[in-house]
């Protein structure tokens, strides 16, 4: 009898569920919006509802949950979910009690990294590091074929690497963290500041611009936007050089819609910057590739545990 696995990805505004077969093929997805004022009990009910909807009488082998939090992997406790203000949520125990099946819980970017390593842009190497610019910027680390979680479950979290000690104050309290420059939030902030300072005439609205708007603005010769994205790409390359210097990985995987939409314009800047700032021949033979898997990657990754 074929056994199926269900993976769930909890984000800041959504809960996405998938069901996969034994060949890691996604058979069905279900996505709902999650309100910021949701209670933990309400969220748990939504998880159960999605599980029941996806399982629909099938033989489910395991449920996996990817969360935006550091995780104590063995116990399945999410230590801090800043998007919701929750701490020490015992997802594994609670869901196993509710559903009567085995549950695995892990960090969302770690799970996207695992999925890319096994099924996407990471195929063919034994070590890699991922960079996922979004609201902040997350990372994941594979070494010798194994996902590295770290002693306290925080390995790979590169968003608070300091890249400019005199830079903008970060929400963490430090100055010049990577995510204050290389993230969607930073992109919006810097462009808004340019509008306020009358450096930018507002060809696009940073708060609502989508990928097509960014591409159109770039192609129209929007110099302010171009310079900002090139600056972000250069700083991302510096961060990659730092990681390569420390870990010596074989491959770098980059996510984020800017880099997909403007791959031929930005990815070479990222790579050139990484080569320039890496020590010695640290970047020799190290590919910088875009991620291959889409928004289902964290949910897919957690089914691979």
CB 224 within 8 A of CB 231: no
Q: What is the pLDDT of residues 37-73, one digit of tens each?
A: 999 999 999 999 999 999 988 989 999 999 999 899 9
pLDDT of residue 1: 57
- Same-domain status, 99 and 140: no
* Residue 192 placed within a domain: yes
Q: What is the DSSP letter of 180?
A: G
Domain span including residue 151 = 122-290
CB 30 within 8 A of CB 117: no
257: domain CATH number is: 3.30.420.40
What is the token pair recorded at 169? 């104050």
- Could you identify the residue written with the tokens 């390569």? 244
Q: What is the DSSP letter of 155?
A: T
- Same-domain status, 187 and 38: no
* Residue 212 placed within a domain: yes
pLDDT at residue 154 greater than cutoff 80: yes
Report the number of distinct structural domains present in the chain: 2
- Residue 100 backbone phi and psi in degrees, to 5: 70, 25
User: Containing H/E element for 142?
Assistant: strand 137-143
- Could you identify the residue written with the tokens 């010695």? 280
- Same-domain status, 131 and 21: no
- Same-domain status, 51 and 168: no
- Same-domain status, 148 and 169: yes
- Same-domain status, 105 and 164: no
- Same-domain status, 203 and 223: yes
**Burial class (CB within 10 angstroms; exposed 0-12, middle 13-18, buried 19+) of 63:** buried
Cα angle 29, 31, 35; round to 5: 165
* Residue 137 placed within a domain: yes
* Residue 46 placed within a domain: yes
* Residue 117 placed within a domain: no
Q: What is the pLDDT of residues 259-288, one digit of tens each?
A: 999 999 999 999 999 999 999 999 999 999
pTM (predicted TM-score): 0.92
- Same-domain status, 252 and 205: yes
- Residue 141 backbone phi and psi in degrees, to 5: -135, 125
- Same-domain status, 103 and 176: no
- Same-domain status, 157 and 263: yes
Q: What is the pLDDT of residues 158-171, one digit of tens each?
A: 998 998 899 999 88
């Amino acid at each position: 009898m074929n056994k199926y696995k269900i993976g769930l990805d909890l984000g800041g505004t959504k809960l996405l569920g998938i069901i996969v077969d034994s060949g890691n093929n996604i058979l069905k997805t279900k996505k709902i919006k999650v309100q910021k004022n949701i209670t933990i009990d309400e969220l748990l009910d939504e998880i159960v509802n999605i599980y029941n909807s996806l399982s629909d009488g099938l033989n489910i082998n395991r449920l996996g949950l990817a969360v935006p939090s550091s995780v104590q992997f063995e116990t399945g406790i999410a230590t801090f979910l800043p998007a919701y203000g929750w701490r020490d949520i015992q997802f594994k125990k609670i869901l196993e009690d509710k559903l009567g099946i085995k549950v695995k819980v892990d960090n969302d970017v770690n799970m996207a990294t695992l999925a890319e390593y096994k099924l996407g842009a990471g195929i063919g190497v034994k070590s890699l590091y991922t960079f996922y610019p979004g609201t902040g910027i997350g990372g994941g680390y594979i070494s010798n074929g194994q996902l590295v979680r770290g002693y306290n479950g925080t390995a790979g979290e590169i968003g608070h690497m300091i890249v400019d000690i005199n830079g903008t104050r970060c929400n963490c309290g430090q100055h010049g963290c990577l995510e204050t420059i290389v993230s969607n939030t930073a992109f919006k902030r810097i462009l808004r500041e340019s509008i306020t300072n009358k450096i930018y005439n507002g060809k696009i609205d940073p708060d609502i611009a989508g990928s097509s708007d960014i591409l159109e603005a770039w192609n129209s010769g929007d110099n302010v936007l171009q310079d900002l994205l090139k600056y972000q790409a250069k700083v991302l390359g510096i961060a990659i050089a730092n990681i390569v210097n420390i870990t010596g990985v074989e491959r770098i995987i980059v996510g984020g819609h800017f880099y997909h939409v403007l791959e031929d314009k930005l990815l070479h800047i990222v790579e050139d910057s990484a080569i320039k700032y890496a020590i010695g021949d640290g970047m020799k033979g190290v590919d910088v590739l875009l991620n291959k898997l889409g928004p289902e990657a964290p949910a897919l990754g957690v089914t691979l545990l």
